[in-house]
Amino acid sequence: ILVQNQYFATCNISHSGVRELAGDLLDLRVVGKLAKSGDFLVDTNRRWLVKAVSPNEHLKLAEIGHGEDIETLYSDCDGFSHSLLLPIPLAFISAEKKAYLVMHNETERLADWTRPDWQVVQVFDVKPLPNLADDLADLISTLSTGWLGSFEPLSTWDGWNDTSNALHRDCRVLTSSKVVDFSLFIHVLRPNSAMR
């Protein structure tokens, strides 16, 4: 059973991904197990990730995709285009009745998009408190020490207000839907000129 998130589909955000998936047979390999749900897979080109989700998570994501809160907070597709939520163009139920989500590999996509001028040097998968994960401590340490620690505070960076506003709006969607288990997927990029 293949389904699309209705808001991504309505706003034409997932169409190109769905077309690409329909045209290619993905050769997937397991790259890990998720504690709550199962396999985490990647295709050989590293463009797509396939993540197993628990039945409860699957139902919650479907509920958010059809929810009125999204229309209230984003108002229209232009507003939704500024969301920092990771698009999920496709979901499916396997022959074994397990739910899976298909999404772009954002790290690979970002690396392709910024080459050759930039390089992704670190990735953090940070869960908000009260969840405790190693990446949160690593992020705080990275922001306060080393070359990132020498930068001006994030609040002074160009574009930070837009990013912060989008982040707050997305978090309101997730908290209004009573979603606790979500992550901030943070990439640190560095100019290649600075690494020579």
Q: Are 74 and 18 in contact (CB under 8 A)?
A: no
Q: Which of 11, 113, 103, 108 is nearest to 52 (CA)?
A: 103
Cα separation, 56 vs 43, in Å, equals 26
Q: Which residues contact 85 (CB under 8 A, 6 or more apart)?
A: 170, 173
Structure tokens at 113: 């998009």
pLDDT at 84 over 50: yes
How many Cβ atoms sit within 10 Å of the Cβ of residue 181? 13
**Is the pTM above the cut of 0.75?**
no
pLDDT at 37 over 70: no
More confident site: 118 or 65: 118
